[in-house]
Structure 1
Amino acid sequence: MRYEGMVYRPPSEAGSLIIQATVGCPHNRCTFCSMYRQSRFRLRSVDEIKEDLAMARDYYGDSVRTIFLADGNTIVMKTDHLVEILRCIRQLFPAVERITSYGSARFITKKKPADWVALREAGLSRIHSGMESGDDEVLRLQNKGVDAQGIVRAGQMIKDAGIELSEYIIVGAGGKTLSEQHAQNSARVLNRINPDFIRLRTLMPAQGTPLYDMFKKGDFKLLSPHEALAETRLFIEHLEGISSTLYSDHISNYWNVSGKFPGDKEAMLKQIDHALSLDEKQFRDPLQVRL
């Protein structure tokens, strides 16, 4: 397999074969994100991708079970090209159980519902989508290029097509000023989508990003550990009428809270209440984590 630049994947894809179908991210303007700053976005050719799949089959054999199509927003590829790649995967790896990709709301909605059905029928199993927030003011601050209604529409398109959806929320994305509305409105958006998975990440300002510059100038106030936990509690408290599974499966988070709605909701709130009862000095420094 051939890789260009730094290749990222969700923690849940740690055991997956990673195939780089695109390089970089077509948006690449989120104020908080440093992942693809050094990469110029481009689509790899279908033939190149098929060659890499054949290399992987020769190296690993045909028993690969999960495959992640990198980089950011590989879904921008033409639907017929993605279908061709997905069919090639299923031919080369008959035991494959899950094929996934990143896909943000801005680009999900550029396809028609029929496109998503075709992709699901070809083998696309799950979309990892960084919604980050469901609050329009926070989304503008983060320069996501989409509003809350667009996130709802995108999420519902994926769910209606029968594809699993994993939505990512950034705890602290609105800083101290927008914390409450970020938590409440993010929950309201997710209540309308009912994704399969909700995954929490806690904001860590990355050097070289506009948000880091805002933070250094004092224009963006980072949440303390207790404030981040309180925001998480408010967020979970407002999640209603869903059957999603929540994970905080990332080293950036202050507490590992997880569970399935609706049954585990009260237990999750109690987990956070326990964390809030601990001395704040027991938690990591908000600026120090090894990613």
Structure 2
Amino acid sequence: MFDYDYPLYRPPSEAKSLIFQVTLGCSFNKCSYCNMYRSKEYSERPWEEIKAEIDLASKHMPNSKRIFLADGDALNLPTNRMLQILGYIREKFPDYERISCYAMPQNILKKSPEDLKKMYDAGLTMFYIGIESGSDIILKKVTKGATGQTIIKACQKAKDAGYTISCMIILGLGGKTYSKQHIEETAKVLSASAPHYVGTLTLHLEDGIRDEFLTKFKEPFLPIDDSEALDELELLISKMEPSSEVVFRANHGSNAYPIGGTFPQDKQSMLQKISHLRSHPELCRPVGLRGF
């Protein structure tokens, strides 16, 4: 129905959502592990184009409940433009349940508490934040443009404004050399920020960014294997001590083993499942069936 500017990405949980591209690409676009928007130059779409697509969607899919604002940097829009978009979506989809978008930590921190609250009150209620790692060393090596502390501050700032937060981390991002540090520091960040949802995926370097990733890493990168990915999951779950309930999922298609539960009540059962999986390597998802 829409003339999308591809590639188009959205979180797995937004699979059935109506998507409006309010920006194209990513304004940062320097993360060495990410190939999502390398083919695009960042731009903010004109209001007239966005409005026309909202009008079109409201005629053909008037009962849409969930709406996702793409591309990777919708929160980079000026607050007034975002409020204009949100207000019109609410007018055209009065029965909507949720509007969400990706959010980089630096973009959350650039918004004032008042602006975040205005957007929340206007209908934007959920952010997807790529944490990737809590280790400052690894975050610098993969040119994330964030530190563990700025990630914690961004998550807390968003939560203070009422937002639901879903965060992603990447198993294997530090390779064998930094595996323990990667996971221990990530557990600290997740414990301190206590996002509502945490998901893990496993590092997969696409051909278009492999050389850049290895160059920026500035030392030999030794990928972890499936057994070591399970070790990272076990260490992450064992070290996480969030102050509030956190739904944890390691069921992304890139992962060798699916794990899921809710902190704190399911912590021990998740660790028990990992022990079971370690004893049954035949339960590992075949590489050919993994979705990267």
Q: TM-score range by the shorter chain?
A: over 0.9
Task: Write the deviation string for residues 163-215 of structure 1: whole angstroms up to 9, x where unpaired.
Answer: 10001000111111111111111111111111110011111111111567629
How far off its partner does 1:113 sit? 1.1
Which residue matches 1:192?
192
288 and 204 in structure 1: CA distance in 2 versus 1, 3 angstrom threshold: farther
2:123 partner letter: G
- The CA distance in 2 between the partners of 1:80 and 1:290, in whole Å, is 38
- The CA distance in 1 between the partners of 2:52 and 2:251, in whole Å, is 33
1:274 partner letter: H
181 and 81 in structure 1: CA distance in 2 versus 1, 3 angstrom threshold: same
- The CA distance in 2 between the partners of 1:168 and 1:151, in whole Å, is 12
1:249 partner letter: N
Contact 1:230 1:276 in 2 (8 A): no
Which structure 2 segments of 5+ residues have no match? none
SS of structure 2 residue aligned to 1:128 = strand
- The CA distance in 1 between the partners of 2:276 and 2:188, in whole Å, is 25
Contact 1:236 1:269 in 2 (8 A): yes
Is 2:248 the partner of 1:246?
yes
How far off its partner does 1:288 sit? 7.7
Which structure 1 segments of 5+ residues have no match? none
1:242 partner letter: S
- The CA distance in 2 between the partners of 1:264 and 1:212, in whole Å, is 39
Is 2:41 the partner of 1:40?
yes
- The CA distance in 2 between the partners of 1:109 and 1:80, in whole Å, is 17
Identify the match of residue 265 of structure 1 among 267, 272, 279: 267
User: Mean Cα displacement is larger for which, 163-172 or 248-257?
Assistant: 248-257
How far off its partner does 1:109 sit? 0.8
- The CA distance in 2 between the partners of 1:282 and 1:86, in whole Å, is 43
SS of structure 1 residue aligned to 2:110 = coil
Which residue matches 1:109?
109
Which residue matches 1:72?
72
State the identity %.
38
SS of structure 2 residue aligned to 1:190 = helix
SS of structure 2 residue aligned to 1:168 = strand
Which residue matches 1:50?
51
Contact 2:277 2:283 in 1 (8 A): no
User: Mean Cα displacement is larger for which, 174-183 or 272-281?
Assistant: 272-281
218 and 157 in structure 1: CA distance in 2 versus 1, 3 angstrom threshold: closer
How far off its partner does 1:110 sit? 1.0
> How many matched pairs?
289
Contact 2:257 2:283 in 1 (8 A): no
- The CA distance in 2 between the partners of 1:239 and 1:266, in whole Å, is 12
Which residue matches 1:206?
206
2:104 partner letter: S
Contact 1:116 1:158 in 2 (8 A): yes
SS of structure 2 residue aligned to 1:109 = helix
Q: Report matched runs for 1:85-96 at 5 Å.
A: 85-96=85-96
153 and 87 in structure 1: CA distance in 2 versus 1, 3 angstrom threshold: same
Which residue matches 2:158?
158
Contact 1:127 1:165 in 2 (8 A): yes
CA RMSD of aligned residues (A): 2.0
2:269 partner letter: A
How far off its partner does 1:118 sit? 0.6
Which residue matches 1:83?
83
Q: Report matched runs for 1:8-23 at 5 Å.
A: 8-23=9-24
Task: Write the deviation string for residues 3-29 of structure 1: whole angstroms up to 9, x where unpaired.
Answer: 112110000000000110100011111
How far off its partner does 1:255 sit? 1.4
TM-score with structure 2 length normalisation? 0.94
